[in-house]
Amino acid sequence: MKSYLEMLKELMACRAMTDNVAGVNLAVACMEDYARQEGLYTAVEDFDGRKALFISTVAGKTAEFLLNTHLDVVAVPSEDMFTPQIRDGYVYGRGPFDDQGQALCALQVVAALKGKASVCAIFSTDEEHGGQTTIGMVNRGYAATKMGLVVDGSPYAVAVAQKGIISLELVARGRAGHASAPWAFDNALDKLIDGYLRLRSAWKPVTENDQWHDTMAATVLQAGDPAATNQIPGEARMSLNIRYIREENHERIVQWVREVTQLEVVEGAHHCLPMVTDDRHPLVQSLLQELRNTFPEKKVDTLRMNGATDARHLVSMGVPLGIIGLPGDDAHGPQERLLLSGVDAYRDLLIRFIQRN
């Protein structure tokens, strides 16, 4: 196998921004070539022209352990970010931390366990836009029988829960007219604002120290014609992004929003279930112990995430899930970087964890 940095340089050069289908497919081809050189089983699936990759130490679509990472990256402020820079023990650029550098670590784990353990990996190519390729791979039967690990999280911890997402649109309708006579018309924007303020007042506040409950944020507001500032709008819309922790509360939340706002509520397509794994599960505890043994100077524990990863798409496998991540910083930012010493450390601890379980 080529050196880690050689492979990372080649992957980054693919310019695999999520919208660049040719670029993400080139990254898939690179990863497949690396895996084949190691004698691993590979399969490439096509989703309307966008590829995703599966590799495994065993034949078929399942293995005991499954690693999940993604090859797509977000856009860059400068093309220079596609050329890795090494400084102070870190590799800088677009992709080392989120998530190509972590994907290569997963590849190394699977390659090292050829003939020694049953382990596979899914490399998706649209995680930054929702992870439909991961959903597609799971729907086509690629899965774990013992545990799934998403390598796209926080270092020195195992995330065992993440919130689900409900996307809602509040719609207010009124009667448009000239702004000089507000008494004569029914202002949809006023109705929308009033309804949203009732909802915001009724929702439990969120603070830095009290986050693990359902949260709500207004994200998009549409009303009126910017070219007609003297016109009262007859329709107004607001998008809400709701993060919730219990699957069974989905319908209750939607109905409660209707009742409180007294507005039309339309549920959007962007929805995913919460992911929760029992942190007392023996495999979770075993992984925590490997982390603690590897990083004795760190405070290693489980955590719960407000954000969403592709772990939400693996819930249907019916196995315990965990989200881990190599040490790095500034994902999506201009100073994205991955700690190079963390690559070998995480590779080796994952190899030990899988072999021992």
Contacts of 256 (CB under 8 A, 6+ apart): none
DSSP state of 204: P
Amino acid in position 185: F
DSSP string for 51-97? EEEEEESSSSSEEEEEEEEE--B---SSGGGGS-EEETTEEESSSTT
**Count of CB atoms within 10 A of residue 80's CB?**
11
pLDDT by residue for the chain (357 residues), tens digit each?
A: 789 999 999 999 999 999 999 999 999 999 999 999 999 999 999 999 999 999 999 999 999 999 999 999 999 999 999 999 999 999 999 999 999 999 999 999 999 999 999 999 999 999 999 899 999 999 999 999 999 999 998 899 999 999 999 999 999 999 999 999 999 999 999 999 999 999 999 999 999 889 999 999 999 999 999 999 999 999 999 999 999 999 999 999 999 999 999 999 999 877 888 999 999 999 999 999 999 999 999 999 999 998 888 999 999 999 999 999 999 999 999 999 999 999 999 999 999 999 999
Note the Cα 66 to chain centre separation in Å: 16
**Count of CB atoms within 10 A of residue 6's CB?**
10
| Gap between the Cα atoms of 94 and 91, Å rounded | 10
Domain extents for the chain?
Answer: 4-162+274-356, 166-267
Amino acid in position 142: Y
In Å, what is the CA distance from 308 to each residue of 150, 160, 239, 245? 11, 12, 18, 12
pLDDT at 236 (0 to 100): 97
DSSP string for 293-307? HH-TTS--EEEEESS
Contacts of 205 (CB under 8 A, 6+ apart): none
- Side-chain-side CA neighbours of 96 within 13 Å: the count stands at 30
CATH, domain range 4-162+274-356: 3.40.630.10
Domain 166-267 bears CATH identifier 3.30.70.360: yes
- Which token pair is 224? 């009126």
Note the Cα 113 to chain centre separation in Å: 26
**Residue 44 host element (H or E):** strand 41-47
> Using only C-alpha atoms, what is the Rg of the chain?
23
Do the domains 166-267 and 4-162+274-356 match in fold? Answer: no
| Gap between the Cα atoms of 78 and 94, Å rounded | 10
Q: Residue with structure tokens 């090494």?
A: 86
- Which token pair is 114? 């050829």
Alpha helices in 119-249 (DSSP H): 132-139, 188-202
Torsion of CA 227, 229, 234, 237, to 10 degrees: 80
| Gap between the Cα atoms of 19 and 102, Å rounded | 21
Amino acid in position 266: V
Amino acid in position 272: C
